[in-house]
Amino acid sequence: MTAHERRTIPFEGKNGNNARMTSFTHLYKFSAPAAFYPLAGRLIPWFWGLAALFGAIGLWLGLAVAPTDFQQGEGYRIIFVHVGASWMSMFLYLIMAFWSAIGLAFNTRLSGMMAAALAPTGALFAFISLWTGALWGKPMWGTWWVWDARLTSELILLFLYIGFIALTRAIDDPRRADRAGAVLALVGVVNIPIIYFSVTWWNTLHQGASVSLTKSPSMAAVMLWGMLFCALAMWMYAIAVSLIRVRGIILERERHANWVKALLLDRAKH
């Protein structure tokens, strides 16, 4: 190695480290409510637009293009809502638990706000999952409800969402409420793999997964694409609604901050 190489290699490494640190700093600054609030406002219209686009494509494929199922007839079309809602109810809980863990580990204010913003939307999807499942189960099983492992664990998920919302709103101090809710959210994470694997761990009435990473889908391609587009629409909707809600939470909790006072004053002028 020449003397010139020995001089330039540390210099290049230093520049690389500086670039990574700069990128991290740019991302980290959005953990402050004052920086995240305007960013969320700019993103919301995009996610609303994507939700409308994906929803229109998914419903068109599912209701107009997909053929009638040879076993379940037209009743199977409820999967275009039911499956996506079930996925989102579980995924949003994992995201809520992730933000809760970040809040406990780093004591960031925005983390608790994000968890609080996600909980109502997750509860909504859990309720839709249970209700559409009942509508589907009545003609298929002959009853609205059975104490099936999948159904029961999904009901527990709804109760976990409701418990998180009730607990955080029952405590006046927002930081204490965030910590208490975070503990409950992290304890409840154990229910997610139970929901997902319940159809393989126990003998249940609920059918197995139609989509798997380890095997080919058990449905026609047009049905699969319709279901995936509907699920994407729900995901975009969840992001948009959660960003709207977290902006409201930020304004409520930061109402005494100078930047919020300036923002409200500017709005009053216009």
| DSSP designation for 145 | -
Amino acid, single-letter form, for residue 194: I
- Does residue 122 lie in a domain region? yes
pLDDT at 4: 44
> Taking residues 135-150, what's their average pLDDT?
80
| pLDDT grade for 116, boundaries at 50, 70 and 90 | very high
How far, in Å, CA of 18 to CA of 16, rounded?
5
> Taking residues 163-189, what's their average pLDDT?
97
Q: Is the pLDDT of residue 18 over 70?
A: no
Q: Which residue has the higher pLDDT, 40 or 18?
A: 40
- Does residue 128 lie in a domain region? yes
* Residue 69 DSSP SS3: strand
> Taking residues 34-60, what's their average pLDDT?
96
Residue 73 pairs with which residues in a beta bridge? 69
Token pair of 18 as six digits = 């500086």
> Taking residues 10-19, what's their average pLDDT?
49
- Does residue 8 lie in a domain region? no
- Does residue 219 lie in a domain region? yes
Q: Tens digit of pLDDT for each residue in 194-246? A: 988 877 766 665 555 566 545 556 678 898 999 999 999 999 999 999 999 99
Q: Which residue has the higher pLDDT, 13 or 216?
A: 216
Q: Is the pLDDT of residue 80 over 90?
A: yes
- Does residue 23 lie in a domain region? no
- Does residue 29 lie in a domain region? no
- Does residue 31 lie in a domain region? no
| pLDDT grade for 9, boundaries at 50, 70 and 90 | very low
Q: What is the CA radius of gyration of the chain?
A: 23
Exposure b/e, 189-208, CB count within 10 A at least 16 = b? bebbebbbebbeeeebebee
**Domain residue limits at 82:** 44-269
pLDDT at 32: 86
How far, in Å, CA of 56 to CA of 193, rounded?
31
pLDDT at 69: 79
- Does residue 80 lie in a domain region? yes
Token pair of 154 as six digits = 């999904």
Amino acid, single-letter form, for residue 190: V
Number of domains in the chain: 1
